[in-house]
Chains A and B, each alone.
Chain A
Amino acid sequence: MDALGLARLQFATTTSFHFLFVLLTLGLVTVVAVTQTRATLSANPVHARMTRFWGRLYVVNYALGIATGIVMEFQFGLNWSGLSTFAGDVFGAPLALETLVAFFLESTFLGLWIFGWDRLDKWVHLALIWLVTLTAYASAFWIMMANAFLQHPVGHELRDGVLRMVDFSALLANPTFGIAFLHVCFAALTVGGVFLTGVSAYHFIRRTTEVEFFRRSLRLGVVLTAVATPLLVGVGFAQFPIVQEYQPEKLDTVGALDGSGLGFMIQIGFVLLLVSWATVPLLFRDWVVKLRFPLYLMVVGIPLPFVAAIGGWLFREIGRQPWLVQGLLTTSDAVSHVSRDQMLVSFIAFTAVFAVLAIADWVLIARLARRGPVSSDESPVSPLVPAL
Chain B
Amino acid sequence: MEGVWVGLLAFLTCGYFALAGFDYGVGVLLRVVGRDERSRRVVLRAVTPFFLGNEVWLVAAVGVLFGAFPRLEGELLSSQHTVFSVLLAGLVCFTVAVQLRSPAWDFLLVGGALVVAVSWGVLLGRVLGGPSVLWGAGLLVLFSLHGAVFLAWRLPGELRRRAVRLAVLLVLPCVAFVVAAVFTAGSVAVPAFGLVAVIAVGLLGGAWVALRAERYRVAFACTALVCALPVVAVFGARSVVTVSVMADLSTLRVLTWAAVVVVPLVLAFQWATWWMSRAAR
A residues in contact (CB < 8 Å) with B: 60, 63-64, 66-71, 73-74, 76-85, 87-90, 92-93, 95-101, 103-105, 107-112, 114-116, 119-120, 164-166, 168, 336-338, 342-343, 345-346, 349-350, 353-354, 356-357, 360, 364, 382-384, 386
Contact = CB atoms under 8 A, between A and B. Distances in A.
A264 to B, nearest CB: 29
Given A165-B250, A345-B85, A66 B52 contact: yes
29 contacts: A66-B55, A67-B91, A70-B59, A74-B77, A77-B66, A81-B73, A81-B77, A81-B78, A84-B66, A88-B74, A89-B250, A90-B251, A92-B66, A96-B67, A100-B60, A104-B262, A107-B52, A107-B55, A109-B269, A111-B53, A111-B270, A114-B52, A115-B280, A164-B251, A165-B251, A336-B78, A382-B99, A383-B98, A384-B52
Nearest to A73: B62
B255 interface: yes
A384 B85 contact: no
B99 A89 contact: no
Given A83-B74, A100-B64, A384-B48, A93 B93 contact: no
Given A97-B255, A168-B254, A85 B63 contact: no
Interface string B244-281: 00011011001100110111011001101100110110
B260 to A, nearest CB: 10
Contacts of A85: 70-71, 74-75
Nearest to B94: A67
Contact of A78 (B44, B71, B85, B254): B85
Contacts of A96: 63-64, 66-68, 255, 258
B2 to A, nearest CB: 13
Contacts of B259: 100
Interface string B38-55: 000100110011111101
Contacts of A342: 81-82, 85
B74 A353 contact: no
Nearest to B89: A349
Interface of B: 41, 44-45, 48-53, 55-60, 62-68, 70-71, 73-78, 81-82, 84-86, 88-89, 91-93, 95-96, 98-101, 247-248, 250-251, 254-255, 258-259, 261-263, 265-266, 269-270, 272-273, 276-277, 279-280
Contacts, number: 242
A336 B75 CA distance: 9
B60 A104 contact: yes
Contacts of A64: 95-96, 99
B30 to A, nearest CB: 11
A100 B82 contact: no
B179 to A, nearest CB: 32
Contacts of A101: 258, 261-262
A360 B85 CA distance: 21
Given A101-B262, A382-B100, 8 more contacts: A70-B58, A88-B67, A97-B255, A100-B63, A110-B52, A111-B53, A165-B254, A345-B82
Nearest to A104: B60
Nearest to A110: B52
A35 B266 CA distance: 26
Contact of A360 (B100, B247, B248): B100
Most buried by B among A73, A82, A87, A103: A73
Most buried by B among A85, A92, A109: A92
A45 B64 CA distance: 44
A364 B50 contact: no
B50 A111 contact: yes
Given A85-B74, A111-B273, A78 B247 contact: no
B262 A78 contact: no
A115 B100 contact: no
Contacts of A98: 63
B60 A60 contact: no
A383 B40 CA distance: 11
Most buried by B among A67, A168, A357, A386: A67
Given A98-B63, A100-B262, A357 B53 contact: no
A336 B89 CA distance: 19
Contacts of A103: 56, 59-60, 63
A119 B276 contact: yes
A359 B273 CA distance: 31
B172 to A, nearest CB: 32
Contacts of B45: 383, 386
Nearest to A131: B269
B273 A108 contact: yes
The 9 closest A-B pairs by CB, nearest first: A88-B70, A96-B67, A99-B63, A81-B74, A77-B77, A336-B78, A346-B85, A84-B74, A81-B78
